[in-house]
Structure 1
Amino acid sequence: MVTLKRFSSNHSIHRNIILQLLVFFVFVYFIFQVITITEFFSKDTLAAIHNHSVKISSLLAFTLFFIFCYIINRINKWFINPLNKLNKVINESDNISNNKIIHAGDITSMFEYYCMMIRDIAEKDSKIVLETSMLTQEKQAVIHQKQLASSLFNNSQDIIIIIDNNGIITRVNPSFCLLMGVKYENIIHQPLINFINTAAYKNIKASLSHELNNSHQWQGEFNIQHIMNKKDIPLYVRINKFIDTKNNNIQYSIIATDLTTIKEIDRLVHINQHDPLTELPNRIALTNRLKDELSIQRTSHHKFAVLFIDLDNFKRINDNYGHQMGDRVLKITANKLRNSVKKTDMVARLAGDEFIAIINPAANRADVIQTCERILSILQQPIIIDKCHLMINASLGCYYAHPHKQQTIDEILSQADIAMYQAKIAGKGCIIECN
């Protein structure tokens, strides 16, 4: 059952096992002899043992030897051989145990060594698993960030364009394609100049180049041209310049907001609050301004003046030269009035040849009178239209809106109107202060 080859290999381990088994068997044989000597058995049994002592001793020795060999064989099959195979695999590996060769020693040392090695492998595995998990999380985070950036790029309502240093479009989002009415494949790798208003670009080219070269960014209003209907599309544009330090590649990112709706709203608001003939603020804008002045007056307690200006004998111009000539006179008069007051003051057309000026502040009466005289002086200058010399004069009524009076807008305009009529009664071309 047990070959000499098996015993010759791993002799150190077998030697320790054999010595321990021999001590055990000697101890068993000694116990048996003690039991015999101490008459533990009956006299008949002892007599039988004594008569057959040689046979019994031989049988016991043979039995113990058989048990010894069987135990050695089981130990060799179940324990020693697997350890030898593990030992061989470990010794042949270049990376495990730092190329240290394991020599067969006692069982305890081998177990300690294998346990230590298993712990090292387990720690390395756990580190690898942890590092792999961290790398996976980082990779997932990068992928998530890329997906988020791509989603923002594709779903942004703003126009996003990426161009290279030569002005060639390298990437563009669907908003630009939709705005221009052009498919993506007809835009990509095309010069951006093909899609913009050349005249508008010439106006901003110098400032654009200067800002991008110095601060690497530029922003402002700019027009592009629709491919199909050739209409200009107003945009608010933000351009940033990026330089790749590794290979010195230059790219530009362009983010633009379509101002068409905003411009249209501004146009409608302007039409709603301005006189279409003279472009002066109309009655609606005048009412809003007076509301603001009265609201500010409650806290600042300042005084402002309202001038009611009416052209004298304007009907005669319409009758003698026609309404077209009259409209041209009103336009020129509006420009004169606009230039005769401060930019912070307001001039509005109330109706026909009636105008309103708001002078704020009006703390010094002399300054208000000086402004009124300047208005009349400018209006009295002759107007030349198609070689026709037209003389215009005006009557002016001035009313001061005091902070301690609780007055409405209609009351203020009515008082200024009364002052103007008093100026007409006084002989026209003069100034009357109501209060």
Structure 2
Amino acid sequence: MLIAPDQLDDHVASVVAEGFDTYTVSPAGDRDMYSSIIYLEPFEGRNLRAFGFDMYSETVRRTAMERARDRNEATLSGKVALVQETETDIQAGTLIYVPVYQHGMPLETIAQRQNAIRGWAYSPFRMTDLMLGLVGDWSLMGTNGLGLRIYDGEINNDALLFTSPGLADHALPDHHTHRTQLDVLGRPWLLEFEALTAAHVSDYRAALFVVIFGLAVSLLLFALMVSLARTRDRAIGIAGQLTHDIREREAALRIASTEAEHFREALEHVSSYIFIKDSNRLYQYANKECLDLFGCTAESIKNTSDEQYFPLATCEQLKKIDEQVLRGEKTKSEVEVRTEDGRRQIYLEIKSPIYDDADHTQVTGILGISTDITALRLREEDMQRVAHYDALTGLPNRLLLADRLRQAMTHAKRSGGQLALVFLDLDGFKAINDQYGHGVGDDLLEVVARRLKDSVRDGDTVARIGGDEFVAVLQDINGLENVKIILDRMMSAAADPIHLQGKHMKVSASMGVSLYPQDADISEDQLMRQADQAMYQAKNAGRRRAHLFVQHGDPIVLHVDQR
């Protein structure tokens, strides 16, 4: 609460009279205005260190408090050292302030708000506890190869708010990091994701964390609102710990109602979809963003169900999630919605049970906060395509080929089957590329790639590994005769004439084949080298042919193109 200098002595005396003999406003000294923390929950342990502290006396806190007062909105402070900290496990801190004004006074202008301000509802956050509490088990968020640092505004040690587990002593070159800025209740947070190993640099799943951290503040505000919306007796109990003049029953209820309204107003400015359902899974509250999404009003949404807003398949998924929450579980799920026009919308949804008592014995409702992550998911899928598919032909690239080959070899070993690996190099492509230019050469590669893909069976893989080199993984071949049939189709795919830009062109293919399993246990790389060696033997033997790799002795000619 805010205290004028001429009211300070009376204020201290009134709190001391309530039984807090050692109460005082700290730090001591003359100031033009004072504030005092007069209510904390839980009122025990390290929180007692903050009782009576004048946050208005400290520059960082005062800046946030004045911004919240002047804008009439929830505001986040910069990095602070919380007075609750002890000598052990010291963490960076930050605070959220929501202004509380004198009821009935006008608030249209900044001057009116400054005149009407009575105090602030606030929440302190120890950043490490906050982030680990929101994310839970760090490994479950898919970040085994990624670390996170959060800075307040700029990158330096003084502004460091949070470092994820395992990252404190880690250092990779700067190009192994990805940075993005996030506005959190008027405060710029800089999120720096860093690969813990070079092998994880291309893991773009970390983008999802940007959303999760953006949701954190909204979720905390939501929890505060629900806490203030507890039963009449709880509101009176809370009010009883405040100053003496608001201990009366009706005054306590008015204060709780006013603060709840401010938190509700803060939620109206959150870009996520926030809602409350009762124990029958019927909506009882939704913020403005959610009402706009559903196309309804605060009154019309009451006692409505998901079936009125979502397709049937989505409703079935939401029902299962809600049933988990009503059993007392907290959930974090991705919900996919197919719109009537076929568009995909993907939401990250976090839900928690609402209890009617402090003992958490009876669930009476569901808290929900949902954020549209469609753009991020599509971006992640695009990144996966870039990482695993050849940009020119759309075929799997070397990275995805390695994974497919590994899976095929595992399958062959378990099932007792056999696979063939085909290494194909185009004959005559360089001459066409040199004569007609790279544009025509690229068009030719696209045509050959489509033909090769069509020449193999469903379940087989054709990949481009660079230049005019292709690799095919043929599973469950059931003997060399079946391999020869597929090789003939692949040879035709490469050798059939191609017409591009009014020009008649023709290439052929040299192919090397290796089989798996073999007498000795070999790796994917060894199998590739065998097929590559057989391909060069075929090319040296006159091209337009396929050779089978033989460990000891001359290669076996599997196919010769007679066209």
- TMscore range, shorter length: 0.3 to 0.5
Q: What TM-score comes out, normalization by structure 2 length? A: 0.36
Which structure shows the higher helix fraction? 1
The higher-RCO structure (CA 8 Å, 6+ apart) is: 1
State which structure, 1 or 2, has the greater radius of gyration over its C-alpha atoms.
1
Q: What TM-score comes out, normalization by structure 1 length? A: 0.45
